[in-house]
């Protein structure tokens, strides 16, 4: 079958392309910008890439067009396929109908930690010999690719709540029909799609309705937003992670990189790995619990974590120049920012931390979380923030009550120059963004030389 994918360089759609190719289909696709690392991953699979959306790319007609959720009416390819009555489908629906329907799906949903937790869970299954299929919204270093198709009966998927397509405004995860589901947490996000927390909770409620009574939900014991979802209607047993939960951590190291795993009051073993922070303790426990549901002993899962390599852009050390460390992290929501800074603080002790932040996401640019941003930076020593041109709230005013010095910049190069003049041996530079941030990581490393 000839498949053409619109919006192919997004992490999810790129993963769909890889899976379709590995199923034996002829796959091509297009995007507004063809860029690595996804373009390299797709090219390695022999997938033809086209830059832009000229309608001629749909001639001769493909057997089906898979439409990414970034596509909108007015796009030349969308108008052409509608006018010509070409068969089209969303990525999530195609995935369910062609792969997920016959498999035990383990889905990881939530506002934060999806990519890391999905990667941890996938690695546990791999270590245990399950050879799982997977689709992850990042590139886990244990695998080097974001998606893989195998003969396994198990499929691990990062299940996000973003909408499916221009013609299907349900959350993507509604299509996945998981038997095992990790719901990591729930906060308001994606203000470009949802108007309130209640709207996102409704999508999670729909997800919960699709999980069988013989399935399992893994959730944090202290998340009131998720508990409200379960209280409305839940037919599936829920196992809780956290203090007084079914799964919890004890005897934690100071930087939280090692801890005992306790299940229903019994110590199962001790995790010692390279990840830091309370959020990753939770991610590990949730993944161990989900793996346990498919029959993997906790002892085996704990062993697997000792060889787990984190996803890129998750407190990733990009370089050390003149004893100045430069980190990259995907954090772009106040909760994620706070947990990331806190994790680094526990690692480096009293060393000076420069928190460098881009307010790049739609939710951040529109000021939905503007009252919480200053407090999220409290564990850093100094913050440098890039103000986007389309920011529609007063960033300076929002930072007035910050407990640390905050400097606001209009250009990436201005931040690089400031770091070059201020950073000294032993300092830590933590760069946080959900985009490429103008190549700031490489620029800072070069400047520090």
Distance CA(45)–CA(329), nearest Å, equals: 28
Q: What is the pLDDT of residue 278?
A: 84
| Rounded CA separation 105/152 (Å) | 11
Q: Give the pLDDT score at 239.
A: 96
Looking at the structure, do residues 156 and 186 belong to the same domain, yes or no? yes
Residues 289 and 414 in one domain: no
Domain membership of residue 125 (yes or no) is yes
List the domain range (segments joined by +) for residue 416.
Answer: 316-448
**Nearest by Cα to 88 from 105, 106, 69:** 69
Q: For residue 34, what is the domain's CATH number?
A: 3.40.50.720
CB atoms within 10 A of CB 112: 22
**Domain match, 297 and 322 both:** no
How many structural domains is the chain composed of? 3
Q: Tell me, what's the pLDDT at 145?
A: 85
Same domain, 179 and 327: no
Q: With respect to residue 311, please indicate whether it lies within any of the assigned structural domains.
A: no
pLDDT, greater one: 52 or 367: 52
- The reported pLDDT for the residue numbered 252 is 93
Strands 258-263, 353-358: pairing is unpaired
* Whether residue 336 is found in the same domain as residue 299: no
What residues pair up with 5 in beta bridges, in sequence order? Answer: 29, 66
- Structural domain ending residue among the three candidates 90, 107, 123: 90
pLDDT averaged over every residue in the chain: 90
- pLDDT score at 367: 65
State whether 86 and 103 are in the same domain.
Answer: no
Query: Which among 55, 90, 125 is the end of a domain?
Result: 90
Q: Is the confidence at residue 445, as pLDDT, over 80?
A: yes
80 pLDDT more than 90: yes
Three-class secondary structure of residue 2 per DSSP: strand
Q: What is the pLDDT of residue 363?
A: 64
> Does position 362 have pLDDT exceeding 70, yes or no?
no
Report pLDDT for 190: 64
Residue 266 lies in a domain: yes
Quote the DSSP letter at residue 76: H
Q: 3-state DSSP call for residue 256?
A: coil
Q: What is the pLDDT of residue 203?
A: 93
Q: What is the mean pLDDT of residues 75-98?
A: 97
> DSSP characters for 166-185?
TTEEEEGGGGT--SEEEE--
> Does some domain include residue 211?
yes
Show Cβ contacts of residue 134 under 8 Å, excluding neighbours closer than 6 positions: 118, 122, 143, 147, 148, 155, 156, 157
Q: What is the mean pLDDT of residues 340-361?
A: 86
Residues 6 or more apart whose Cβ sits within 8 Å of residue 397: none
User: Tell me: the pLDDT tens digits for 297-330?
Assistant: 999 999 999 999 876 677 788 888 889 999 898 8
**Whether residues 185 and 58 fall in one domain:** no
Do 150 and 291 belong together in one domain?
yes
Give the domain CATH number at 288.
3.40.1190.10
What local confidence, expressed as pLDDT, does residue 72 receive? 96
Both 156 and 106 in one domain: the answer is yes
Give the chain's largest Cα–Cα span. Answer: 64
- Based on its alpha-carbon atoms, the radius of gyration of the chain, rounded to whole angstroms, reads 22
Average pLDDT over residues 38-48: 87
Same domain, 107 and 234: yes
Angle at 172 between CA 86 and CA 168, to 5 degrees: 45
Share of the chain above pLDDT 70, in %: 96
| CATH at residue 371 | 3.90.190.20
372-420: pLDDT as tens digits? 787 888 889 998 988 877 776 777 777 778 888 888 888 899 999 999 9
pTM listed for this prediction: 0.81
Of 48-52, 146-150, 202-206, 398-402, the one with minimum mean pLDDT is 398-402
Give Cα 138 distance to the centre of its chain.
7
Coil/strand/helix, residue 110: coil
364-to-245, 371, 434 alpha-carbon distances in Å: 33, 11, 11
DSSP 377-430: TTTSSEEEEE--TT--S-HHHHTTT-SS-EEEESSHHHHHHHHHHH--TT-EEE
Is the pLDDT reported for residue 29 higher than 70? yes
Closest to 331 (Cα-Cα) out of 91, 115, 79, 175: 115
Q: Are residues 44 and 111 in the same domain?
A: no
Q: Does residue 192 surpass a pLDDT of 90?
A: no
Terminus-to-terminus CA distance in the chain, angstroms?
52
Q: Are 387 and 359 in contact (CB under 8 A)?
A: yes
Domain boundary among 266, 286, 305: 305
Give the per-residue pLDDT at 369: 67
310 found inside a domain: no
What mean pLDDT comes out for the span 138-147?
85
Candidate from 174-188, 352-366, 425-439 with smallest mean pLDDT:
352-366
Domain membership of residue 263 (yes or no) is yes
Q: Is residue 442 part of a domain?
A: yes
Residue 429 and residue 366 share a domain: yes
* Structural contact between residues 441 and 323, judged by C-beta atoms closer than 8 angstroms: no
Please indicate, yes or no, if residue 360 is contained in any of the structural domains: yes
């Amino acid at each position: 079958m000839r498949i053409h994918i619109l919006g192919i360089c997004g992490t999810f759609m790129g993963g769909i392309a890889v899976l379709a190719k590995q199923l034996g289909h002829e796959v091509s696709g297009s995007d507004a910008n063809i860029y690595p690392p996804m373009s390299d991953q797709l090219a390695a699979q022999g997938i033809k890439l086209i830059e832009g959306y000229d309608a001629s790319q749909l001639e001769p007609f493909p057997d089906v067009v898979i439409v990414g959720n970034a596509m909108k009416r007015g796009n030349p390819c969308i108008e052409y396929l509608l006018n010509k009555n070409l068969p089209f489908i969303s990525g999530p629906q195609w995935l369910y109908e062609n792969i997920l329907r016959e498999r035990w799906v383990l889905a990881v949903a939530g506002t934060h930690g999806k990519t890391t937790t999905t990667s941890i869970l996938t690695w546990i299954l791999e270590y245990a010999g399950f050879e799982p299929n997977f689709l992850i919204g990042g590139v886990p270093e244990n695998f080097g690719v974001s998606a893989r198709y195998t003969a396994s009966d198990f499929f691990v998927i990062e299940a996000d709540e973003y909408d499916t397509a221009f013609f299907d405004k349900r959350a993507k995860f509604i299509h996945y029909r998981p038997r095992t589901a990790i719901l990591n947490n729930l906060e308001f996000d994606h203000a470009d799609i949802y108007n309130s927390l209640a709207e996102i909770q409704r999508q999670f409620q729909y997800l919960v309705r699709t999980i069988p009574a013989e399935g399992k939900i893994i959730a944090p014991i202290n998340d009131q937003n998720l508990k409200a979802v379960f209280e409305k209607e839940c037919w599936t047993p829920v196992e809780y992670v956290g203090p007084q939960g079914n799964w919890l951590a004890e005897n934690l190291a100071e930087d939280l990189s090692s801890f005992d795993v306790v299940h229903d009051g019994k110590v199962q073993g001790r995790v010692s790995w390279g990840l830091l922070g309370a959020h990753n303790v939770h991610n590990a426990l949730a993944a161990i619990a989900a793996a346990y549901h498919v029959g993997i002993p906790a002892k085996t899962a704990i062993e697997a974590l000792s060889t787990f390599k984190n996803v890129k852009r998750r407190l990733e050390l990009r370089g050390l120049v003149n004893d100045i460390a430069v980190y990259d992290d995907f954090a772009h929501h106040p909760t994620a920012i706070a947990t990331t800074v806190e994790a680094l603080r526990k690692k480096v002790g009293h060393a000076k931390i420069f928190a460098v932040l881009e307010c790049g996401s739609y939710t951040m640019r529109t000021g939905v979380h503007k009252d919480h941003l200053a407090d999220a930076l409290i564990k850093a020593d100094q913050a440098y923030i890039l103000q986007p041109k389309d920011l529609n709230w007063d960033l300076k005013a929002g930072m007035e009550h910050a407990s640390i010095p905050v400097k606001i910049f209009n250009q990436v190069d201005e931040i690089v120059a400031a770091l070059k003049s201020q950073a000294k041996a032993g300092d830590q530079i933590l760069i946080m963004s959900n985009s490429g941030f103008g190549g700031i990581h490489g620029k800072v490393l070069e400047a520090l030389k």
